[in-house]
Structure formats: C-alpha cells, structure tokens
C-alpha cells in the first residue's frame, strides 16, 4: 500500500454517501451542524444497516440452528449468509469466521483457548497450543488494551513472559526489533493492523515472516483496519484476526474472530453450553466443529445480519475508494493541525500507510478541555487515552484529542475541526495547565 490517489470519492459520490447516514442530518445544541470525527470509537450507521436489523425482526425472527419451521429455516439461512458475506469481505472462508460480541471478546477467545489447551483440554491435537513457563508472548506498545491485557493475563496464568515491540518517534512499529523481541520461545505474536491512536498502518508481512521463522501464532487486531482499507486475511497470512461490527458501520454487539481452518479445528472451546456440542451425556460432551464450537448460546443474529449489510455497503463503495478517500482526509487533517501553534501530533506526519486518525496534544490544555471547546463548535472527537495508555505514556502524554474519520467524513468536517482546534489555546490562555 502507498499513499492513495488524491480522492477516492467525487463530491457527488460523497454527498450520496452522506445522505445514507440519517444521523448526519441532525443538529446539536444551538442548532449547530454535527461534525462527527469520532468514528474510531464507533462509526455511524447507514440506513441499509438499520433496515437490515429491522427487517429481520419484522419478517424473519426465529431461533437459528434449531427448529424445523419455515421461520427458523429463513433465520438460519440469513444468519449463515451473513457469515459468508463478512468472511468474504475480509478474504476468509465462511467456516473460518466465528461470531463474537466484539474484537475484545474475539481476542479473549483466542487467549482463553490457549489457556485451556495449556490445561490439557482439547486432547493431543491441542497440545501445540500449550504454553509453558518461560515461553514468550510478544505484543507491541501500540496496542489497544484489548490486545494487551488478555495477553498479560494469559502470561500470568501460564508463566509465559510478555515482551513487546516499541514504536519510533512517528508512531510506526519498530520492525528492527522483531528479530530481538520475537524469539525461539515466542508462542504468540499479537499486534495491531492499525493503531487507534497514531493511525499508523502496520506492514503485516515482516511480522508474519518472523512469527513463521520461530513457529509463533500471529493474532492480528484488525478492528481499525477492516473499516478503512482493503483487508485480505488469507493474503496477509495471519493465523487469527479480530474485528468488530460497530466500527465498520455495523451494529454494536457483534464482531468476528477469523482463524485459519486447521487451527480452529484443533482449538479447544472457551465458552461452553448449548449449540456448540454434538453428544452430551451426564458425564461429558463432544464438541461441534468450528465455527459453531466457539458459538455457545443464542447468537446475536440481527446484529450479524446488520454487520453483513455494512460489509455489503462498503464493498459496493469499494474499499480501495474508501481508503483513498480517507487517506486524502488524513492529509487534510494533518495540514489543518500543522500550522496551529502548540499542537503536536502523536503519530505519523506523513500519509503513507495511514488512517485518517489524528491524535494531538495541545500544549498547556488538557484533552478534556480541548474536547469541550470542540464540542461547543459541534465537533465530536474522542478525548482521553483511547484505551491505549502505553502508547500515550511512550509519547509523554496522559491523554490526547483524537479526530478520526470514516467514509462519510467530508472536507468541511476537517475544516471545522481545524478552525475549532485553532481557537482552543486562546480560550484557555496558553499557560493554563
């Protein structure tokens, strides 16, 4: 991937996209226009996603994978069709996609499955997933807490040692540290595909190559990449990947875990109960093949169908065009911030392999106060540590103000952000701390 062409969407196309998102029409306190630049936290939903969920409840609602009546058949078909759509959207096969409630639960699923394998569950086939004291788990400083804390916990449960790869001054992962931090003892290499703070997109190939050299499993946090750029998990060659519906224009409450077929086949289950079993006696149970083995209990059917509608919507726009549009917005965001005195970007200041996610520190003004001034101008941004404290600490910041775009974000939105941000230090007086 390189810097994208100047724009991925024409003005007419963007206007049509924006018209698909009903919430963009609403106004805020004082009649202000909504400038939504918090898509990294959660994206807004197009009408087709809202309709897909509603349509399921209005016309097809029934329990899936049980019952022989017509509604149950239709609901099951819609649910499994959604799996096929979402799997195909990320370059995976249908049976490699496990529904989860979000990325966090997907990553925890992998961590706890490895834990169960370590405890001897899953039999001989799962033995290769076991961790022993002194084994290593490698993560990066750029991780969201969702791809850090589960590995800290797994290390604590198994006696494994946690190591990590740093970022450089531009927030790019230090590829030069791969050889040192990923060793013959590394069992898991968990890393983000794109940082929710710096916006830097990770070159996946060197991570996968190094993991293969030492026989480590790769776990990719694709929460921030799947909504914003073309992602082909087979081509990337990772072993596991996690992403979530609500950041890719879909509903909350649904996400997915991708796992390579042969790995899922040998992985012991985590959450157990109904729907994930074959034969159950009073003493024991045998387990269904993947993906059902990892989907105990009633699933989030309407949300999965909504997530598939979101994938279809994005596919129709074309993820190359989406990335090109957002990469152009990244350039505009950086250009808007650059001339403002006392404002520092945490992340790449170039637009190569970069999301339109720009986090800044405003000298002398706390992020909460920055966010308040922006909110007063109708500009919705995220303030705080964005569930990624280590990377903030790495740059000497407790918190930042983050503008994050999506496919519906316009140049006017970026301009409004720049204008509001430029007034912040004057509002507080520069010496306020």
Partner 1 sequence: MDAMEQLYQQVILDHARAPHGRGLPADAPGTTAVATVGHDTCSGQSHQVNTTCGDEVTLRVDVDLSGEQPVVRDVRWEGSGCSISQASISVLHDLVTGADLETVGAVSTTFRALLGTRGAGLDDEAAEDLLGDANAFTGVGKFPARIKCALLGWAALTDALILAGVPGTPAEATR
Enumerate the active-site residues: 387
Q: How far is the CB of 431 from partner 1 (least distance, A)?
A: 7
Our finding on whether 367 is near partner 1 (CB under 8 A) is: yes
Of 206, 237, 384, 423, which lies in the binding site for partner 1, with binding defined by CB under 8 A?
Answer: 384
Strand segments (E) across 376-432: 379-380, 382-384, 400-404
Nearer to partner 1, 257 or 381 (CB): 381
Our finding on whether 149 is near partner 1 (CB under 8 A) is: no
Q: Which stretch binds partner 1 (CB under 8 A): 53-61, 89-97, 288-296, 360-368?
A: 360-368
Of 15, 205, 398, 415, which lies in the binding site for partner 1, with binding defined by CB under 8 A?
Answer: 398
CA torsion sign for 337, 342, 346, 352 is: positive
CA torsion sign for 300, 231, 235, 112 is: negative
Q: How far is the CB of 398 from partner 1 (least distance, A)?
A: 5
- φ, ψ for residue 279 (rounded to 5)? -115, 130
If residue 257 lies in a helix (H) or strand (E), which one and from where to where?
Answer: strand 255-259
One-character DSSP codes across 58-115:
III---TTS--SHHHHHHHHHHHHHHHHHHHHTT--GGGEEEESSHHHHHHHHHHHHH
Helix (H, G, I), strand (E, B) or coil at 219: strand
Q: To 5 degrees, how large is the angle CA 37–CA 418–CA 7?
A: 65
Nearer to partner 1, 216 or 397 (CB): 397
| CB of 253 closer than 8 Å to CB of 101 | yes
Label the pairing between strands 285-287 and 277-280: antiparallel
Q: Which stretch binds partner 1 (CB under 8 A): 110-118, 232-240, 318-326, 425-433?
A: 425-433
Query: The tokens 């985590």 sit on which residue?
Result: 270
Q: How far is the CB of 413 from partner 1 (least distance, A)?
A: 21
Our finding on whether 431 is near partner 1 (CB under 8 A) is: yes
Our finding on whether 42 is near partner 1 (CB under 8 A) is: no
Q: How far is the CB of 400 from partner 1 (least distance, A)?
A: 10
Query: The tokens 């005195």 sit on which residue?
Result: 341
Nearer to partner 1, 78 or 383 (CB): 383
Q: Which stretch binds partner 1 (CB under 8 A): 31-39, 141-149, 379-387, 412-420?
A: 379-387
Size of the site for partner 1 (CB under 8 A): 22
Our finding on whether 376 is near partner 1 (CB under 8 A) is: yes
Q: How far is the CB of 47 from partner 1 (least distance, A)?
A: 29
Residues 227-256 that bind partner 1 (CB under 8 A): none
Distance CA 355, CA 330 (A): 6
Q: CA dist 113 to 105, 234, 336, 344, Å?
A: 12, 22, 45, 41
Of 133, 339, 396, 429, which lies in the binding site for partner 1, with binding defined by CB under 8 A?
Answer: 429
Q: Which stretch binds partner 1 (CB under 8 A): 124-132, 262-270, 340-348, 391-399?
A: 391-399
Of 35, 211, 308, 383, which lies in the binding site for partner 1, with binding defined by CB under 8 A?
Answer: 383
Our finding on whether 132 is near partner 1 (CB under 8 A) is: no
Q: Which stretch binds partner 1 (CB under 8 A): 122-130, 265-273, 279-287, 370-378?
A: 370-378
Taking the alpha carbons at both ends of the chain, their separation in whole angstroms is 40
Name, in order, each residue with C-beta under 8 angstroms of 124's C-beta and a sequence gap of 6 or more: none
Q: How far is the CB of 379 from partner 1 (least distance, A)?
A: 13
10 Å CB burial of residue 428 (0-12, 13-18, 19+) is middle
Query: The tokens 């006017």 sit on which residue?
Result: 412
Three-state SS letters, 150-161:
HHHHHHHHHCCE
DSSP class of 143: -
Count the neighbouring beta carbons within 10 Å of the beta carbon of residue 199.
31
Nearer to partner 1, 23 or 398 (CB): 398
Q: How far is the CB of 27 from partner 1 (least distance, A)?
A: 16
Our finding on whether 369 is near partner 1 (CB under 8 A) is: yes
Of 29, 169, 339, 396, which lies in the binding site for partner 1, with binding defined by CB under 8 A?
Answer: 29
Site map 101..130 versus partner 1, x via CB under 8 A: ------------------------------
Of 121, 157, 389, 411, which lies in the binding site for partner 1, with binding defined by CB under 8 A?
Answer: 389
Of 34, 206, 372, 422, which lies in the binding site for partner 1, with binding defined by CB under 8 A?
Answer: 372
Q: Which stretch binds partner 1 (CB under 8 A): 100-108, 172-180, 282-290, 367-375?
A: 367-375
- φ, ψ for residue 229 (rounded to 5)? -150, 160
The contact set with partner 1 (CB under 8 A) reads 29, 365-369, 372-373, 376, 383-385, 389, 392, 398-399, 427-429, 431-433
């Amino acid at each position: 991937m390189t810097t994208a062409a100047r724009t991925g969407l024409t003005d007419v196309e963007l206007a049509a996209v924006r018209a698909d998102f009903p919430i963009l029409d609403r106004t805020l306190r004082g009649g202000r226009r909504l400038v939504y630049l918090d898509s990294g936290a959660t994206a807004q939903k197009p009408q087709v996603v809202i309709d897909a969920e509603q349509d399921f409840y209005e016309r097809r609602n029934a329990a899936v994978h049980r019952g022989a009546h017509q509604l149950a058949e239709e609901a099951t078909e819609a649910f499994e069709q959604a799996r096929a759509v979402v799997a195909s959207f990320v370059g995976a096969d249908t049976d490699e996609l496990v529904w989860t409630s979000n990325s966090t639960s997907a990553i925890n699923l992998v961590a706890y499955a490895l834990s169960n394998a370590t405890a001897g569950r899953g039999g001989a086939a799962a033995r290769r997933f076991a961790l022993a004291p002194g084994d290593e788990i490698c993560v990066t400083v750029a991780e969201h807490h969702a791809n850090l804390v589960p590995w800290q916990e797994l290390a604590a449960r198994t006696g494994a040692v946690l190591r990590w790869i740093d970022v450089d001054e531009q927030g790019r992962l230090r590829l030069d540290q791969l050889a040192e931090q990923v060793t013959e003892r590394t069992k898991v290499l968990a890393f983000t595909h794109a940082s929710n703070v710096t916006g830097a997109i990770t070159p996946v190939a060197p991570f996968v190559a190094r993991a293969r050299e030492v026989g480590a499993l790769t776990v990719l946090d694709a929460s921030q990449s799947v909504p914003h750029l073309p992602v082909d998990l087979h081509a990337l060659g990772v072993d596991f990947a996690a992403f979530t519906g609500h950041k890719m224009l879909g509903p909350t409450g649904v996400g997915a875990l991708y796992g390579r077929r042969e790995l899922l086949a040998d992985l012991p289950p985590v959450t157990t109960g109904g729907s994930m079993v074959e034969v159950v006696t009073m003493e024991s149970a045998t387990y269904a093949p993947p993906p059902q083995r990892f989907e105990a209990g009633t699933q989030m059917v309407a949300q999965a169908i909504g997530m598939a509608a979101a994938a279809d919507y994005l596919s129709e726009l074309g993820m190359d065009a989406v990335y090109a549009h957002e990469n152009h917005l990244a350039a505009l965001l950086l250009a808007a911030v650059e001339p403002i005195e006392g404002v520092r970007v945490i992340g790449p200041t170039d637009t190569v392999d970069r999301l339109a996610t720009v986090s800044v520190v405003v000298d002398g003004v706390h992020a909460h106060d920055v966010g308040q001034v922006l909110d007063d101008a109708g500009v919705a941004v995220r303030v705080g540590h964005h569930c990624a404290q280590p990377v903030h600490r790495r740059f000497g910041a407790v918190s930042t103000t983050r503008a994050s775009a999506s496919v519906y974000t316009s140049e006017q939105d970026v301009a409004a952000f720049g204008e509001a941000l430029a007034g912040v230090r004057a509002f507080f007086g520069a010496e306020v701390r």
